[in-house]
């Protein structure tokens, strides 16, 4: 196993709200190996996007990282200050593909101006024409039709898929080592989604990137991602190689989630109960109140990561007992 390019360790984050302190993230752990695509999966509201924002340091006001580390290479991003992040990390070494391509470009400027602006502020010494040439090349690579003319058009003149290609090109513009994609395909229709996924997979291989891919769609993960990390209510519950986790899920939540997937179950199954409010999270395992296999101790003591085998890792007290590991 190589040294991970990005490692999030025991991340705890809370947001001050009018109703009190919301504990959005509570021990999130995962590691992304170089050249891999790691999928972060979870229901809406589980804190997937917040994890990304914590990594990039673009948290909303009132949010505070209480504990944990975000190691990118050998720096802890959480200790860097805003100007350093802007100059050396965001956009230059970590590319970011935002969620909804319809809203992620400034509507009043031509796309060329917007993309060139990013390149210019990260590499001010490259000439204007050099940047332009490189950008056209990049747009051709992301299969945007007529890339040279595209620079002089406004965002609303592109379709959703085309805009997502533009945003991918923007993320790659400054040759980052890591790309973070926040549900890049959710707002697109299925066929476009397929093309974008293929494009992303090819780009990762071709540019030697690593990618953090956030989604709620297990189908997308199984197709695209080498590794997976499942998050429930701000806690990472299970992680490991995608094939292993999806074939043999260990955590009761992962099992329940897979059972909900319409491809896999003949009848529609849900998970009883509702996601707990981050204002008053249950004291132990956050899934315990909805878990069929919960024992009294699950409601009292938070689980910790238990390594199972072949990189699969699960946060559940069921596997804490020596006798249940074989089960």
Partner 1 sequence: MLILKKFARDLPAFAGLVIVVAIIVVALIGPWIAPYPGDAAGSHLLQRLKPPSAAFPFGTDNLGRDLLSRVILGARGALEVAIIVVVLAAGIGVPLGLVAGYRSGFVSETIMRVTDVFLALPQLILALALAQLMTPSLESAMVALALTYWPFFTRLVYAETRRLQSSLFVDALRGVGAGDTRILLLHILPNAASPIIVRATLGMGFTILVAAVLGFLGMGATPPDPDWGLTIAESRNYLPGAWWYSIFPGLAILATVLGFNLLGDGLRDLVDPRLRRSR
Nearer to partner 1, 171 or 250 (CB): 171
Contacts of the segment 113-121: beta carbons below 8 A, 24+ positions apart = 114/170, 115/151, 115/166, 115/169, 115/170, 115/173, 116/151, 118/91, 118/170, 118/173, 118/174, 119/173, 119/174
Cβ proximity to partner 1, 179 vs 313, nearer residue: 179
Backbone angles phi, psi at 305, to 5 degrees: -60, 130
> Of the two residues 71 and 93, which places its CB atom closer to partner 1 in the complex?
93
* Minimum distance, C-beta of residue 89 to partner 1, in the bound complex (Å): 7
Q: Which residues bind partner 1 (CB under 8 A)?
A: 56, 58, 61, 82-83, 85-87, 89-92, 95-96, 98-100, 103-109, 117-118, 121-122, 167, 170-171, 180
Closest CA to 252 of 305, 214, 290: 290
Pick between residue 58 and residue 321 the one whose CB is nearest to partner 1. Answer: 58
Cβ distance to partner 1 smaller for residue 86 or 222: 86
Radius of gyration of the chain (CA): 21
Q: How far is the CB of 2 from partner 1 (least distance, A)?
A: 26
Of 87 and 309, nearer to partner 1 (C-beta) is: 87
Give the nearest distance from C-beta 246 to partner 1 in angstroms: 29
Cα gap 74→3, rounded to integer Å: 10
Tokens of 253: 């939540």
**Taking the complex as a whole, how short is the minimal distance between the CB of residue 113 and partner 1, in angstroms?**
10
Long-range contacts of residues 105-109, Cβ cutoff 8 Å, at least 24 apart: 105/155, 105/163, 105/166, 105/167, 106/155, 107/154, 107/155, 107/156, 108/154, 109/154
Q: Which is nearer to partner 1, 58 or 248 (CB)?
A: 58
Cβ proximity to partner 1, 23 vs 122, nearer residue:
122
Q: By three-state DSSP, how is residue 215 classified?
A: strand
Least Cβ distance, residue 170 to partner 1 (angstroms): 7
Contact 13, 24 (CB under 8 A): yes
Identify the three-state secondary structure at position 39. Answer: strand
Round to whole Å and give the CA distance between 291 and 251.
10
Residues with Cβ within 8 Å of residue 187, at least 6 apart in sequence: 99, 100, 101, 102, 160
195 and 161 Cβ atoms separated by less than 8 Å: yes
Q: How far is the CB of 143 from partner 1 (least distance, A)?
A: 21
Helix (H) or strand (E) holding 13: strand 6-17
Q: How far is the CB of 57 from partner 1 (least distance, A)?
A: 9
Min dist CB 108 to partner 1, Å, is 5
């Amino acid at each position: 196993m190589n040294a991970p390019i990005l490692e999030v360790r025991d991340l705890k984050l809370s947001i001050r709200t009018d109703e009190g302190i919301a504990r959005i993230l509570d021990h999130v752990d995962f590691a992304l190996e170089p050249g891999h695509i790691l999928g972060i999966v979870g229901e809406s509201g589980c804190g997937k996007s917040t994890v990304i924002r914590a990594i990039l340091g673009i948290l909303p006001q009132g949010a505070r990282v209480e504990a944990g580390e975000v190691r990118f290479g050998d720096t802890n991003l959480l200790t860097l200050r805003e100007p350093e992040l802007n100059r050396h990390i965001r956009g230059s070494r970590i590319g970011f593909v935002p969620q909804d391509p319809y809203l992620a470009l400034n509507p009043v400027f031509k796309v060329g101006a917007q993309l060139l602006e990013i390149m210019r502020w990260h590499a001010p010494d490259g000439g204007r024409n050099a940047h332009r040439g490189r950008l056209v090349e990049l747009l051709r690579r992301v299969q945007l039709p007529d890339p040279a003319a595209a620079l002089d058009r406004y965002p609303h003149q592109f379709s959703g898929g085309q805009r997502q290609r533009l945003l991918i090109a923007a993320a790659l513009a400054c040759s980052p080592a890591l790309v973070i994609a926040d549900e890049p395909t959710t707002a697109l229709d299925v066929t476009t989604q397929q093309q974008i996924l293929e494009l992303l997979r090819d780009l990762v291989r071709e540019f030697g990137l690593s990618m953090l891919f956030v989604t709620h769609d297990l189908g997308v993960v199984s197709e695209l991602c080498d590794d997976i990390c499942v998050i429930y209510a701000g806690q990472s519950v299970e992680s490991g190689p995608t094939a292993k986790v999806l074939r043999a899920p260990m955590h009761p939540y992962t099992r329940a989630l897979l059972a909900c997937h319409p491809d896999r179950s003949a009848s529609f199954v849900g998970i009883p109960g509702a996601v707990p409010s981050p204002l008053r999270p249950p004291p132990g395992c956050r899934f315990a109140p909805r878990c069929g296999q919960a024992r009294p101790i699950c409601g009292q003591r938070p689980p910790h990561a238990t390594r199972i085998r072949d990189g699969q890792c699960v946060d559940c007290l069921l596997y804490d007992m020596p006798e249940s590991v074989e089960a």
